[in-house]
Structure 1
Amino acid sequence: MRWNKGLREEGGIRFAAPPDAVEGYGGRGVDGFAITTAAGYLFRDEAGDPWWIIFHPYPESVSHGDRARGDILACSESHDDVVHVRLLASDVQRGDAEAAFRLSAPLGYEDAVEVAGRVPRAAR
């Protein structure tokens, strides 16, 4: 897995892991952007483990900016060989996801899961 800080035009902090390093996302890899709040970009669960909350755009919508469609994922902050992924919301727009997190400002993982669940599905 890798994470790189880039320009906002490039999507901010980018998180990527190849399919063979991902568990829990149906054999797919992750290549998306960390959702950040005033508290930062890592969200600790009740056990104290840190998670990234990632907007993973669908390949066909990657160049659509805030209108890009994709999934909201929780990805384990892990330095071993496997990234554990949990799907929190599917088929949402990036702008809606970022706005929900910015307005709700969740501090922990469980709060982030609730916020992700309230993001509306993208209009078709």
Structure 2
Amino acid sequence: MSALPKVVAWFEIPSVDFDRAVRFYEAALDVELNRQEFGGQPIATFGYEEPATGGAIVHGPSMKPAADGVTVYLNAQPTVNVALARIERAGGKTDGPVIELPQDIGYIAFFIDTEGNRVGLHSRTNG
């Protein structure tokens, strides 16, 4: 059995209020999302370069935000603490403390976005 080249191929974060969710993630992560329509549904993709994994904010009748579903970890730049401060200013809520991972893997934290999704953050350093 061989290993996959990357475990996550794509991710989607559901939204109730698409415009609010896009504004939140742009402010929280200090990025600009690329708004488009795909299959008649609005999406806003995060910029990325191959081989990194891409993803989007999505809005559709079958997608519901949830705090207890799958957890996606977003890249927190430059650190988890800096990203959490932006998240709070953008209307999100920190969900628990910053956690230092063993073996120099880095730091993680969680937040609840403006749509009610629980999302993770990761950074290699937090100083």
TM-score (norm 2): 0.27
Q: Answer 1 or 2: higher relative contact order, Cα 8 Å, separation at least 6.
A: 2
Q: Which has the higher helix share?
A: 1
- Which structure has the larger Rg? 2
